[in-house]
Chain A
């Protein structure tokens, strides 16, 4: 390790390296958002809320990618028209943004397909609450059991 200069406080004496913690605020937010989204998907019974949770989960990943693209002190990656690039200018990395454009499109497709399915589920089952759906499905399975079960030892 490098010898610490006098002006810099000794990091080891603190429990947290606050510069590190605040310097990575967007990564912490990514983790919080990601876990919030995943939690909503798992814990909520309403199908639309699940889709919202899924969206938050995906948007968190967009944030991760965009954070990766940031170069400290970097400017927008737009080259001058004459293409005479000044080698001293630092540019941010545009690639993660491009990747995320694709991921956003995928996210929209997923959301719209999910919502379309919910509309069809509402038409067919007359509910979009997961516990009620499970109840209906259990009844359907029980009906299958009654109809087809006896020949096979009572289970379907």
Chain B
């Protein structure tokens, strides 16, 4: 290798965007700790997050019409070295994660000051940056083991972030502990699955894995690996019977953390599931050999109904939204199980739309908590009248959660119903509508509480400070914007769905030749 004369090709900064996407927030985390200055922590985190957001926009613009960018870390060619691979699916997710993070940070600035002890602030932002890096890394990488490493980076920092809620309610600690136990079991299952894949294929690069699995067909090791990976990621996704960590973690975490987690972390896990099911294992393998049809659809429907039903009977706004999140995961899995372009488009679009919808709702909760001290329905009664803009943002988010036309939520549910009809599953379309009615019930209860109840005489007055209000309004605006102008979301999601259904892109051209000689 070293003897051959290699022509030097100059690389510009633009060629290194995929790795900068990860490196900028990753370097920000230790910098925050090294400076150790509370005043510097937030600006550093915000700048890193904003840079990551700009990079994700540039990446999305490059791949929105199809194709992919393959980046070899350290110049080691993909099948052996670690590859970062950006296509429409993960570019949209990178855009969502870095966008939410950039919007959530100004919100966190005020919210965290009232909810987390002062001495923890510097380390809080360091952990936040690590969590952010981990989520971006999970999404961007094209190497299966690298997914595990980034997953653990994001999970470990998430446990810390959740535990920061202990200042307000000590149950945050046990919630974080439970999440740690279940998250680690999930991640370890995932690693066992990867081990089995490596055992039978001898590679860890996703595209290379896909080629070799296609060559080998399904032997028992590969099938067992699939089961381990799906169960492991199912725990991280909070797939209905594996969702137990989620309600407490979301309820007791600080508001800003819940905003960030609810909008991004389960979505990243759904993405990994998508990637493994469609790019590593090919669709015919997943659905004909293992008949996932009969596993995913029932669990998705169960999540849609049981979790929504539980949400109706909550009397804590934040906990209600946590259960609603589990139900919304059901829609995403249902889209996957439809196994057609519309279904996958629905899943990818819903990941994005639900991210911004839950973002605005949890921000609303945080604003109410800031003023009223808790998010129980009786303490926030009538506050919609006292905090008009917060109330308006919650209404927009609530309508989007139901899926009212003109909001982002409608777009993804419409795609889902369309996908069900394309498959001839009219009963699933009816069930989607029925479960949306449950959403009407639980969202209406919130509207009733914050608008129709009389506020207490000593109820707080006025919207939260601007750093919290502006992010909330931006996301509420996004809920409306992406409900009307669907070019960006549906466009990217459609490209993503088509490329996912086609299966793997295979290796990048130079490496493909090598694989070709090994294969067929």
Partners in one complex: yes
Encoded as 1 (CB less than 8 Å from any B CB) or 0, chain A from 101 to 119 comes to: 0110010011001100110
Q: Which of A117-150 contact B (CB under 8 A)?
A: 117-118, 120-121, 124-125, 133, 137, 140, 144, 147-150
Contact check, B377 vs A148: say whether CB atoms are below 8 A apart.
yes
Q: Is B145 an interface residue (CB 8 A)?
A: yes
- Find A148's partner among B149, B195, B379 (CB 8 Å cutoff): B379
User: With an 8 A cutoff between CB atoms, is B286 at the interface?
Assistant: no
Chain B residues with CB below 8 A from A34, complex form: 192
Cα A10 to Cα B159 in complex, Å, equals: 56
- Other-chain residue from A103, A120, A147 in contact with B163 (beta carbon distance below 8 A): A120
CA distance A137 to B180 in the complex (A): 18
CB <8 Å contact, B173 and A120: yes
User: Which stretch from B21-29, B183-191, B299-307 is at the chain A interface?
Assistant: B183-191
Partner of B170, one of A54, A68, A103, A125: A125
A20 and B199 alpha carbons, distance in the complex (Å): 17
A121: chain B residues at CB < 8 Å are: 173-174, 177
Q: A68-B199, A155-B315 are in contact. Are A61 and B173 (CB under 8 A)?
A: no
Q: How far is the CA of A54 from the CA of B187 in the complex (A)?
A: 12
Q: Nearest-CB distance from A25 to chain B (Å)?
A: 17
Q: Does chain A have a CB within 8 A of B376?
A: yes
Interface residues of B in 136-175 (CB under 8 A from A): 145, 148-149, 152, 156, 159-160, 163, 166, 169-171, 173-174
The answer on a CB contact under 8 Å between A64 and B156 is: no
Q: Are B188 and A61 in contact (CB under 8 A)?
A: yes
Nearest opposing residue in chain B for A120, CB measure:
B173
**Nearest CB in chain B to that of A114: its residue:** B180
Nearest Cβ distance between residue B366 and chain A, in whole angstroms? 18
Interface residue A35 (Cβ < 8 Å from any Cβ of B): no
**B463 interface contact, C-beta 8 A:** no
- The reply to whether A117 and B176 form a contact with Cβ atoms under 8 Å apart is yes
Question: Which residues of the other chain, B, contact A156 by a CB distance below 8 angstroms?
Answer: 315-316, 376
- Whether A133 lies near B152 (C-beta < 8 A) is no
B377 to chain A: closest residue by CB: A152
Q: How long is the Cα–Cα vector from A61 to B189 in the complex, in angstroms? A: 9
Interface centre among B149, B163, B176, B188 (most CB of A within 10 A): B188
In the complex, the answer to whether A102 meets B156 with C-beta atoms within 8 Å is no
Partner of B160, one of A113, A118, A150: A113
- Contact, CB under 8 Å: A61 / B379: no
Determine if B443 is an interface residue (Cβ-Cβ < 8 Å).
Answer: no
* B180-A110 in contact (CB<8A): yes
B378 within 8 A of A: yes
Q: Are A118 and B177 in contact (CB under 8 A)?
A: yes
A58 lies within 8 A of chain B by Cβ: yes
How far, in Å, is B270 (CB) from chain A's closest CB? Answer: 22
User: Which residues does chain B contribute within 8 Å of A41, judged by CB atoms?
Assistant: 181, 185
> Which residues of B have CB within 8 Å of A50?
181
Given A113-B160, A140-B171, verify A152-B177 contact (CB < 8 Å). Answer: no
A72, chain B: closest CB distance, angstroms: 15
Min CB distance A51 to B, Å, is 8
Which residues on the B side are within 8 Å of A110 (C-beta)? Answer: 152, 156, 180, 184
A147 contacts across to B, CB distance below 8 A: 376
CB distance from B141 to the nearest CB of A (A): 13
Give the docked Cα–Cα distance between A148 and B316 (Å). Answer: 9
A61 to B159, CA, bound (A): 22
A29 at the interface (CB under 8 A from B): no
* Chain A residues with CB below 8 A from B35, complex form: none
A117 touches B381 (CB 8 A): no
Would you give the 0/1 interface string for B377-407, flagging 1 where the beta carbon is closer than 8 Å to chain A?
1110100000000000000000000000000
B195 touches A64 (CB 8 A): yes
Residue pair A151, B377 in contact (C-beta under 8 Å): yes
Q: Is A45 an interface residue (CB 8 A)?
A: no
Given A64-B195, A110-B156, A151-B378, A102 and B180 contact (CB-CB distance below 8 Å): no
Closest CB pairs A-B (n = 8) = A151-B378, A148-B376, A152-B315, A124-B170, A106-B152, A156-B315, A117-B177, A121-B173
Q: List 26 A-B contacts (CB under 8 A).
A: A38-B185, A50-B181, A57-B185, A61-B188, A61-B191, A61-B192, A64-B195, A96-B198, A99-B204, A103-B191, A106-B149, A109-B156, A113-B156, A117-B159, A117-B163, A117-B176, A117-B177, A120-B163, A124-B166, A140-B169, A144-B316, A148-B377, A151-B378, A151-B381, A155-B315, A156-B315
Interface residues, chain A, with chain B CB atoms under 8 Å away: 34, 38, 41, 47, 50, 54, 57-58, 61, 64-65, 68, 96, 99, 102-103, 106, 109-110, 113-114, 117-118, 120-121, 124-125, 133, 137, 140, 144, 147-153, 155-156
Binding site for A on B (CB under 8 A): 145, 148-149, 152, 156, 159-160, 163, 166, 169-171, 173-174, 176-177, 180-181, 184-185, 187-188, 191-192, 195, 198-199, 204, 313, 315-316, 374, 376-379, 381
- A103-B191, A117-B163 known, 10 other contacts, Cβ within 8 Å: A54-B184, A54-B185, A57-B185, A57-B188, A96-B198, A125-B173, A133-B174, A144-B376, A148-B378, A156-B316
